[in-house]
Structure 1
Amino acid sequence: MGQTGTEKRTFSPYIKFSRDEWRNLRKATPLTLTEAELETLHGLNEQVSLTEVEEIYLPLTRLLNLYVGATQSLYRATHEFLGDTGEKVPYIIGIAGSVAVGKSTTARIIQALLSRWPNHPKVDLVTTDGFLYPNRELERRGIMHRKGFPESYDTRKLIHFLADVKSGKPEVIAPVYSHLTYDIVASEQIVVRQPDIVILEGVNVLQTSRSTNGAKPMNVFVSDFFDFSIYVDAQEALIRQWYIERFQKLRETAFRDKLSYFHRYASLTVEEANQTALRIWEEINAKNLRENILPTKQRADLILQKGDHHMVEQVYLRKI
């Protein structure tokens, strides 16, 4: 039909799907996760159901399987043209989003599902937490209160890690972060050995480089190494609520461990914990979300828009 004078066309780089529209794209993709397996994957205050896996994550992993397969075919064609076998180069998926939005759960579910596909059974998951500067370095720089902000990460080290992975290096080392001690664990490391897929999860993985503390800005971004990127989104009021709920659960569990960096919060009353969590959210996490994380949403290839109870309500897929 023609466009009337009062009609106004809107253009978007994304195709928007309702939950019902998206779940229909599952086709015949089998459910390969059990209830018991799913229980080990969700976060502290998230109860992701098998229905959510079936309706949201199975279509997503079907799409990713098609993308990975196409990339593998292109890789084989290129090396057939060059007349060599070359090094195996992993497909890299970046997952971004706010603290407490559930991106870690999303990453673990995607990892579990993708590893069931026969053409890419080896899927490694790495978080950018391991690339935070150690606490002593953050304290030396006077930015301990900005932990999680872009300047608190050793971005050059992260980029070198991704460059080595993407170049097909046989073994690449990633550092390990402890949420219990709130610091890098010097005695531990993750060894990435040419997997089929690497998932990199972190709040700032879609961030573009900027100069901080007078440092020379970088010309290479973390996202330059991604083959596909996902942003896990929700209204800020919901994320704030999830953050406070998670803080309360941690007060009752991990914070009670005397080795916990936040052990001092274990003795707070429910009301005191609410006030403390809200203050931390407003002073640190909300500020980081508004200034650094949310502005990167439109750089993602796919956006998962969550509503109540961490249920995805809409999906946005970037047009090719």
Structure 2
Amino acid sequence: MSAPGSTVASMFIDLEREAWRALRASTPLTLSEEDVAGLRGLGEQLDLDEVVDVYLPLSRLLNLQVAAAQRLWTEQQAFLGGSASKVPFIIAIAGSVAVGKSTTARILQALLARWPDHPRVELVTTDGFLFPNRVLTERGLMKRKGFPESYDRRALVRFLAELKAGRKEVTAPVYSHLVYDVVPGEAKVIRQPDILILEGLNVLQQSGPAEGNRMPGTFLSDFFDFSIYVDASEQDIRRWYVNRFLQLQQTAFRDERSYFRRYAELTHDQAVAFAESVWGEINGPNLAQNIAPTRSRARLILTKGPDHKVKRVRLRKL
């Protein structure tokens, strides 16, 4: 919101949680407690109240957006006299490591797939478009994994362009968090979904500066129909990241195949110190330099409080 006396108008409509909750209207709850438990991220407090208060109004808004896009597509095809393939409605979800954007993506996928007009909803993360560890090592980028330069952005742009061109089948590379690398030879096949959700750290980032007289390259956002930024204070996200690391140390890191197996035997204090150092050297700077500056480019911002629950929603004015 603008400061008192300011003449600068906000680009967003600010809605506290209760006001946003009322926008659910008659949208039915189509998820059970068991469904929500299966979609909940590590260390998060997601429950049915959060789904009802936050995600049902959001699924209603997105359903209206998809319906409007479908009508526009039909009318444009009638105008052109053509019969080109229908293309998916693409939703981008951005935010920091450990802020809960993956859970937001999974919840929206589950809710949107239950609307009758768009039952085919696919979810793709940008992790698969990271360069393999071999390439990152060669380029000295392993400690900048997750920064914009660690992604094969040409491949990601090509993936989105093929989707929006109506290709019958498009493939996305697969990433394994267990081995902390892209899986060689493995791909996820996307077959003309009604909606595609793309989740990742830097999906709202602009292209780099132009070189000489060359125009800047294509933005990822050129392909998005709607975008969401999951927000919270840096202090809270840092705490969530450390707590998640401690939980993973007692679970996934103990798998012999895990890239992080070497950290499973750290003492509690050692694990906290290591997680804090990773945040301070990698995730914190990436958030400050690359991720947070894209927040204002989103169509909708979900702002979380210290308890991981959304307390405010900001919707960009049309």
Q: Do the two structures share a fold, i.e. TM-score over 0.5?
A: yes
The equivalences for 1:96-245 within 5 A come to: 96-210=94-208, 218-245=216-243
Cα distance in 1 between the residues matched to 2:265 and 2:5: 60
Shift of 1:84: 2.5
* Residue in structure 1 matched with residue 254 of structure 2 by the alignment: 256
Alignment partner of 1:292 is 2:317:
no
Shift of 1:47: 2.3
Cα distance in 2 between the residues matched to 1:115 and 1:59: 15
Cα distance in 2 between the residues matched to 1:203 and 1:316: 19
TM-score normalised to structure 1 length: 0.95
Q: Any stretches of 5+ residues in structure 2 without a counterpart?
A: none
Moved more, 79-88 or 297-306: 79-88
Find the partner of 1:316 among 303, 314, 317: 314
Shift of 1:88: 1.5
Cα distance in 2 between the residues matched to 1:217 and 1:104: 33
* Residue in structure 2 matched with residue 28 of structure 1 by the alignment: 26
Find the partner of 2:17 among 16, 19, 24: 19
The runs of at least 4 consecutive aligned structure 1 residues that moved more than 3 Å come to: 6-10
* Residue in structure 2 matched with residue 76 of structure 1 by the alignment: 74
The equivalences for 1:79-98 within 5 A come to: 79-98=77-96
Q: Which whole-Å deviations, capped at 9, do the CAs of 1:101-128 have from their partners, x for residues lacking one? A: 0000000000000000001000000000
Cα distance in 1 between the residues matched to 2:175 and 2:182: 4
AA matched with 2:222: D
Q: Which whole-Å deviations, capped at 9, do the CAs of 1:217-258 have from their partners, x for residues lacking one? A: 851011110000000000000000000000000000000011
Cα distance in 2 between the residues matched to 1:264 and 1:211: 40
Cα distance in 2 between the residues matched to 1:116 and 1:284: 38
What is the count of residue pairs matched by the alignment?
312
Shift of 1:276: 0.5
Distance 1:41 1:295, change over 3 A: same
AA matched with 1:203: L
Cα distance in 1 between the residues matched to 2:271 and 2:126: 27
Partner secondary structure for residue 30 of structure 1: coil
Shift of 1:85: 2.3
AA matched with 1:81: F
Shift of 1:56: 0.2
Cα distance in 2 between the residues matched to 1:265 and 1:174: 30
Partner secondary structure for residue 188 of structure 2: strand
* Residue in structure 2 matched with residue 67 of structure 1 by the alignment: 65
Distance 1:289 1:8, change over 3 A: closer
Conserved? CA contact 1:210–1:217, under 8 Å: no
* Residue in structure 1 matched with residue 278 of structure 2 by the alignment: 280
Shift of 1:142: 1.1
Conserved? CA contact 1:209–1:217, under 8 Å: no
Residue identity (%): 59
Shift of 1:10: 4.7
TM-score normalised to structure 2 length: 0.96
Conserved? CA contact 2:242–2:272, under 8 Å: yes
Shift of 1:308: 2.0
Partner secondary structure for residue 39 of structure 2: coil
Conserved? CA contact 2:208–2:217, under 8 Å: no
* Residue in structure 1 matched with residue 305 of structure 2 by the alignment: 307
AA matched with 1:199: I
Conserved? CA contact 2:45–2:309, under 8 Å: no
Partner secondary structure for residue 309 of structure 1: coil
